[in-house]
Amino acid sequence: RGPVVVLDGPAGSGKSTVAKLLARALGVPHLDTGAIYRAVAYHMDSKGIPPEDSELLLRELEVTRVEVSQGFVRVNGEDVTREIRTPHVDSIVSHYAAIPAVRRALLGLQREQARDGIVAEGRDMASVVFPDADVKVFLTASPEERARRRHLERLSKGEDSDYQQVLRQVEERDRLDSQRECSPLKVDEGALVFDTTGLSVDEVVLALEKEVRS
């Protein structure tokens, strides 16, 4: 089987772009675990179930089937790939992701994807989901650079975007993700910390590919 490589890091650190290209270079699948949390948040929110309502949430989790394959995300058969990338989902996802039962319910699905090797990205890949990964990387960049990337990404898709608002959202999500009790975003002991501020995507991918092959 191919290598198991994990990338953790805060919002907008470039994980998705880098993970996709690195997976292609290594010939293994790419797993975006953020998309899974986004899909659950989107689904619960659409059903009118707030993160605080643990009873309803637990009941709905039991009948919620998330599938990921080749860049698509489905919830109970419905394709939600586009719907999960909105500013609204950005603003609610961390509240659902902080709930232990949600994280537990998604563990098996994530691990199943790594049968033939994987490049998996998220917040707790190194610490919880793939503690035995062959290579662990923590990608980061300054909050301003991360917000700028997200802002430009939105504009390039023809969407409205306000840089200051994106920056505030990125900082708020980082705060929620690093301060939650269950599986917080942190640098794992075995992880290589890689600051991508000022680096191009290609530079980052090349450096990581070298690291995996060494």
**Contacting positions for ligand CDP (CB under 6 A):** 11-12, 15-16, 33-34, 37-38, 93-94, 97, 122-124, 173, 177
Task: Classify the C-alpha dihedral 108-103-11-133 as positive or negative.
Answer: negative
Residue 7 near residue 125, CB atoms below 8 Å: yes
Q: Which residue is nearest to ligand CDP (CB)?
A: 34
Question: What is the closest distance, in whole angstroms, from the C-beta atom of residue 27 to ligand CDP in the complex?
Answer: 23
Choice between 28 and 40, CB closer to ligand CDP: 40
CB of 169 to ligand CDP, least distance (A): 9
| Cβ distance to ligand CDP smaller for residue 26 or 154 | 154
Are the CB atoms for 105 and 59 separated by under 8 Å?
no
| Closest among 94, 105, 28, 92 to 62, alpha carbons compared | 105
Q: At its nearest, how many Å lie between ligand CDP and the CB of residue 54?
A: 17
User: Minimum distance between the CB of residue 70 and ligand CDP, rounded to whole angstroms?
Assistant: 17
